[in-house]
Amino acid sequence: MNEDIVNIKFEPFREIVIMERNFFATPDDIARFASIIAGGKAAGLYWAEGVVFLYFPLPVTTEAASKALLEEKRVYWTFVGYSFMPKYQPLIETKEKIMVPVIDMSSNPMFRKVTNWLKEQK
């Protein structure tokens, strides 16, 4: 295949639909939640713009969801959990010694936009 004919195109999502959201009072609370839903396995959280969060995207296995993604650039997040954490830290350690890694996603414009929206909701 001739590399000269390969076209690279960036098409970001146009819309993220958040179906359910939950504010956690502290970063420790969301870390506990992440650990519980992961069944005690390693779980991680994301951080941007002073917000630590996790999300669950709706799988695009249904025809309606895949059509929304491909034609409208719309994705659905079935659940977003978040808490305020003004300063980034790479690990949250709860008083129960649960260790949850936190990934700094502040370089991602989409995640920054989502977290800024979440800050307005509380």
Tell me whether residue 89 is in a domain.
yes
Tell me whether residue 52 is in a domain.
yes
- Reduce the secondary structure of the chain to three states and give it as a string: CCHHHCCCCCCCCCEEEECCEEECCCHHHHHHHHHHHCCCCCCCEEEECCEEEEEEECCCCCHHHHHHHHHHCEEEEEEEEEEECCCCCCEEECCCCCEEEEEECCCCHHHHHHHHHHHHHC
Tell me whether residue 1 is in a domain.
no
Instruction: Supply the range of the domain harboring residue 21.
Output: 12-105
Q: Answer yes or no: are the C-beta atoms of 48 and 111 closer than 8 Å.
A: yes
Distance set, CA 85 to CA 22, 34, 59 (Å): 15, 15, 28
Report d(CA 43, CA 10) in Å as an integer: 29
Tell me whether residue 110 is in a domain.
no
Tell me the per-residue pLDDT of 71-118, one tens digit each, with 9 for 90 and over.
889 998 999 999 999 999 999 999 999 899 999 999 999 999 999 999
Count: domains in the chain: 1
Q: Answer yes or no: are the C-beta atoms of 57 and 77 closer than 8 Å.
A: yes
Report d(CA 76, CA 49) in Å as an integer: 21
Tell me whether residue 7 is in a domain.
no
Query: Which among 2-11, 38-47, 83-92 has the top mean pLDDT?
Result: 83-92
pTM, rounded to two decimals = 0.86
